[in-house]
Structure 1
């Protein structure tokens, strides 16, 4: 029996029964303003990520889990992040966990992802309308894949160094355009992350919407019998950003 070529899990979590609601600040912390004072600033965000997961392989058949099955397939999802800055310097740490299973014929599959992003930041531009930080750090991925009907399982653990930029363009007192992009390598051939969106400012927080894309290129790694070439997590997101 051929193993999976393409696993695409359409995680349409923006529904009343199945929202992925979590604490996070990556990339919404692009809205945090650089401080000219010596005091510490902190950021926290809560958002919903309407994400898809795709696993590409160079061999085998396709497995597609339909949208109607997503709420049953989602076992557990959560994210937690913290950010802090003082003057031009800052740091961020972000944790993402996602567990999905599908046990209907002809496939019985479980996927568990654990992702950690950590970076230091340095502000290189801060004005009335434009704010940009350089970032450098690491991205860790642990992916456990189980094909129960074939009695195969495996775990892929990789760590990559990443560099990039994040920031926001302030249109007026109410609207801004946040963005974040990074690229890296190490245990994988390449990893990259992109985010762009729009933010509306209220008195005590920002409401942010946009699109986020995160990917790893492995070069045909064998994980639990699946020859995996690329992992992609992507989709629109909506959240609230708080600074204190």
Structure 2
């Protein structure tokens, strides 16, 4: 029964959102380097493939799943990133929330009903510094900024069976603080297009999270003066493990797929 429940829970845990870190260290034409400039971005990460292992109540299930199985079970998802820059220094707030729910019946005598609640969220607070700001051979500007800070991370994997006889909730809800570091490169291609690559690392063993990785490559297209669209590809992985009262609780998963976003500057 536990294996059947875990398979169901992991199937609905595929859809997630994430922030594609992109640099605001280079001001737009007309923006002052010495005054504050702000950016608010909203993103959606659509994992085309999820692979790895997940463990709830001591039962491990290998994963090799696509995006389509989870889309219809999404309860709510939101992700955003706020950046404030002045000169070479910046401050970043990075937030992510995704909640998925499923109800069904076990393929056992009596068709015992169950519900699964999957949730992942984080809030990151980072300082950033523009370490490189130069002009390339084509006359276009490029920059590299470095980031460091802390992130509160929360992971829930809970399964409840209500009949024929109630059993304890399988899995649980874990939360922890962890350090985060990152780097981003931005290359201005022309007045409308900018290429961006970024890498972010977190966890380093804090709270049971051995390593959390987010990497993005893509382009920013600015059809309007203060609004732009981002198109890219994102890789995300998480290696978390702990032991709860109901048994081992682990999440060792890799995801990759397209990421889309809209960004507002003010």
TM superposition score normalised by structure 2: 0.74
Quote how far apart the aligned CAs of 1:31 are.
Answer: 4.6
Aligned match for 2:182, one of 152, 164, 189: 164
Question: Displacement, 1:61?
Answer: 4.0
Matched, 1:73 2:60: no
Matching of residue 222 in structure 1 with residue 234 in structure 2: no
8 Å CA contact retained: 2:54, 2:61: no
Cα distance per residue 1:125-151 (max 9 Å; x no partner): 113331110100122211122111253
User: In terms of Rg, which structure is larger?
Assistant: 2
Q: Which runs of 5+ in 1 are unaligned?
A: 14-19
Compute the displacement of 1:62 (Å). 5.5
C-alpha spacing 1:123/1:81, structure 2 compared with 1 (3 Å): same
1:64 Cα deviation after fit: 8.5
Matches of residues 67-146 of structure 1 in structure 2 within 5 Å? Answer: 70-106=70-106, 108-127=115-134, 128-146=140-158
What residue in structure 1 maps to residue 54 of structure 2? 57
Structure 2: gaps (5+ residues): 107-113, 135-139, 162-166
Tell me if structure 2 keeps the 8 A contact 1:7–1:55: no
**Which residue is 1:199 aligned to?**
220
Higher strand share: 1
Out of 182, 186, 194, the residue aligned to residue 200 of structure 2 is 182
Cα deviation for residue 38 of structure 1 reads 1.7
Q: For 1:165, what is the secondary structure of its paired residue? A: strand
Pair 1:236 & 2:232 matched: no
Partner in structure 1 of residue 38 of structure 2: 42
Q: Offset at 1:63?
A: 7.7
The offset of 1:159, in angstroms, is 1.9
1:201–1:134 distance in 2 versus 1, CA, 3 Å: same
Q: Do structure 1's residue 148 and structure 2's residue 160 form an aligned pair?
A: yes
Instruction: Note closer, same or farther for the CA distance 1:153–1:198 as it changes in structure 2 (3 Å cut).
Output: same
Aligned residue for 1:7, secondary structure, equals helix
What is the aligned partner in structure 2 of residue 7 from structure 1?
Answer: 10
Change (3 A) 1:36 1:122: farther
Q: 1:62 to 1:123 in 2, by over 3 A?
A: closer
Cα RMSD (Å) of the superposition? Answer: 3.1
Q: Deviations over 1:148-167 (max 9, x none)?
A: 12532411112221212013
